[in-house]
């Protein structure tokens, strides 16, 4: 049987082939429909508000429903992903959000619709947390930053799709909002495909002592095919295989050398999400308050949304060329500059140009973050780390509209933009100074160096038996 060390080296040393592209496409489709489903609510709201005679508080609850669900889903996906595996969580999350979206399409009142949107959000949050983790564990180290960033870019494709569906279907057809919901639930049929072809992460299997399964999957990758994880029968498990990790490991994010990386990652997530939601929720109102009038709202919104696509994919490209840390810092700084230019925009054309520039940079930050976050944790803690960071970032999204709304009467238009620019600039400085370097390194090497270990063999640290097995093999090879 192949050793843990040879399996990890083979995964990181192989060339990117058809199965890697397949996995990226599978993950990308999941995120595309997540983005579409989440974004479509903003187009549904003007329809259901008069339909159900919603007051401001009720409309606000529906507007917040998805964020509430995403927070729960991200935390849950991290906990379950490290305990029961990445593949199961991906499939359950897809089934949950698609089913809830179908049921929501038949809502007869806002209360039931709100509940279904929270449940759908749980599925969306779970997928958004687990898919980048899953992809990062398959892609060879030299292309990992590009692939994970590119997969995250499917979110933008989902936002553009939602804008098109919202305009043509939701606004253009009788009961269009219900039809739009059903369209976003189409990926329920993807479960048939996923169940047939989707393998489990070999890195996760190694943490559970399931080397035979991991070997089959890695061999399949080398042969240019996907080998599905065994779902039945007797599975060979090493006698010394560790027990499953506890369901909730959040405390471990602050132990065993993880505290610094967790602090940096959480700061980045809350800064980017705070700024993103702060700008895009309040920009129209702030500009109107400054005396500007924005016409052609659909064209304006669509162009700004489309600007997300080159933002994601340019950052995915730079993830490998410049490193994740530098890429994130550049796009954070670019977002701060775009925010300043937007605050000084003298015309509607300038608003459109600088708003698109802001959209470009802010979504480029996410391409860097989605690639960077799963890299800095060991395998047994990776899903928990990604899910917790994603969930913590949502706090920024929830609080940004509130804080900016309260600050505007005191700070004024320029003060609000200065505040958010300071958040972006501070985050850029933090990631450059304190961030972990990850480009071109195996996931095991990243964790070892970040934790300050001195062993020469790669490993995922004290929490990762796969890494421990690597180090044991190294000692045995060299006589202890």
pLDDT in tens, 11-36: 998 999 999 999 999 999 989 988 88
- Is pLDDT at 235 greater than 50 in this prediction? no
Please state, for a pLDDT cut of 70, what percent of the chain lies above it. 83
Q: Note the helical H segments in 4-17.
A: 4-13
Please state, for a pLDDT cut of 90, what percent of the chain lies above it. 38
| 479 domain-assigned | no
Q: Note the helical H segments in 17-153.
A: 18-51, 56-84, 86-104, 110-136, 144-152
Q: At 30, list the tokens.
A: 């999941």
| 464 domain-assigned | no
pTM for the predicted model, two decimal places: 0.82
| 235 domain-assigned | no
Task: For residue 454, name the pLDDT band (cuts at 50, 70, 90).
Answer: very low
| 237 domain-assigned | no
| 457 domain-assigned | no
Residue corresponding to tokens 């990890």: 8
The residue that leads in pLDDT, 290 or 471, is 290
Q: Are 188 and 95 in contact (CB under 8 A)?
A: yes
Q: What is the pLDDT of residues 314-334, one digit of tens each?
A: 999 999 888 889 999 999 999
The predicted structure's pLDDT at residue 291: 57
Query: Distance (Å, rounded) from C-alpha 376 to C-alpha 469?
Result: 20
Task: For residue 480, name the pLDDT band (cuts at 50, 70, 90).
Answer: very low
The predicted structure's pLDDT at residue 465: 44
- Which CATH number covers residue 128? 1.20.1250.20
The dihedral built from the CA positions of residue 189, 305, 372 and 282, taken in this order, carries a sign that is negative
Task: For residue 397, name the pLDDT band (cuts at 50, 70, 90).
Answer: confident
The predicted structure's pLDDT at residue 459: 37
Domain that holds residue 286: 4-229+247-434
Please state, in angstroms and as integers, the Cα–Cα distance from residue 25 to each residue in 34, 90, 124, 148, following that order: 14, 14, 17, 11
How many domains is the chain partitioned into structurally?
A: 1
**Mean pLDDT computed over 265-292:** 73
Phi, psi values for residue 47, rounded to 5° = -85, -45
| 480 domain-assigned | no
- Is pLDDT at 242 greater than 70 in this prediction? no
- Is pLDDT at 462 greater than 80 in this prediction? no
| 267 domain-assigned | yes
């Amino acid at each position: 049987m192949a050793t843990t060390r040879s399996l990890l080296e083979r995964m990181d040393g192989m060339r990117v082939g058809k199965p890697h592209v397949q996995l990226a496409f599978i993950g990308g489709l999941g995120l595309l429909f997540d983005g579409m489903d989440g974004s479509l609510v903003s187009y549904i709201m003007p329809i259901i508000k008069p339909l159900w005679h919603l007051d401001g508080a009720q409309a606000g609850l529906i507007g917040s429903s998805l964020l509430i669900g995403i927070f729960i889903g991200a935390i849950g996906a991290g906990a379950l992903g490290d305990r029961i595996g990445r593949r199961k969580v991906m499939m359950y999350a897809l089934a949950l959000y698609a089913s809830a979206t179908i049921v929501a399409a038949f809502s007869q009142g806002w209360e039931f619709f709100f509940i279904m949107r929270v449940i759908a959000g749980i599925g969306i949050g779970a997928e958004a947390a687990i898919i980048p983790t899953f992809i990062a564990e398959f892609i060879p180290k030299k292309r990992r930053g590009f692939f994970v960033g590119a997969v995250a870019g499917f979110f933008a494709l989902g936002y553009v799709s939602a804008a098109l569906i919202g305009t043509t279907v939701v606004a253009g057809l009788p009961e269009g909002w219900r039809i739009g919901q059903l369209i976003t639930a189409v990926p329920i049929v993807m479960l048939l495909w996923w169940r047939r072809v989707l393998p489990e992460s070999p890195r996760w299997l190694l943490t559970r002592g399931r080397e035979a399964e991991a070997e089959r999957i890695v061999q399949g990758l080398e042969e240019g095919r996907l080998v599905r994880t065994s779902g039945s029968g007797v599975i060979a498990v090493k006698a010394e295989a560790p027990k499953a990790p506890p369901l909730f490991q959040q405390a471990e994010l602050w132990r065993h050398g993880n505290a610094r990386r967790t602090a940096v990652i959480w700061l980045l997530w809350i800064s980017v999400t705070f700024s993103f939601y702060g700008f895009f929720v309040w920009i129209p109102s702030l500009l109107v308050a400054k005396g500007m009038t924005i016409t052609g709202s659909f064209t304006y919104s669509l162009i700004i949304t489309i600007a997300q696509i080159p933002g994601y994919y340019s950052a995915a490209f730079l993830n490998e060329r410049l490193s994740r840390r530098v890429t994130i810092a550049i796009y954070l700084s670019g977002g701060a500059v775009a925010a300043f230019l937007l605050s000084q925009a003298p015309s509607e054309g300038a608003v459109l140009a600088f708003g698109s520039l802001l959209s470009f940079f802010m979504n480029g930050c996410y391409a860097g973050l989605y690639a960077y976050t799963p890299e800095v944790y060991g395998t047994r803690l990776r899903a928990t780390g990604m899910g917790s960071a994603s969930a913590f970032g949502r706090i920024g999204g929830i609080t940004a509209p509130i804080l900016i709304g309260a600050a505007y009467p005191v700070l004024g238009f320029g003060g609000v933009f200065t505040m958010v620019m300071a958040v972006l600039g501070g985050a850029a400085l933090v990631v450059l100074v304190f961030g972990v370097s990850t480009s071109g390194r195996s996931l095991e090497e990243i964790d070892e160096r970040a934790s300050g270990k001195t062993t020469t063999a790669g490993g995922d640290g004290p929490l990762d038996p796969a890494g421990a097995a690597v180090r044991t093999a190294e000692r045995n090879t060299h006589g202890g």
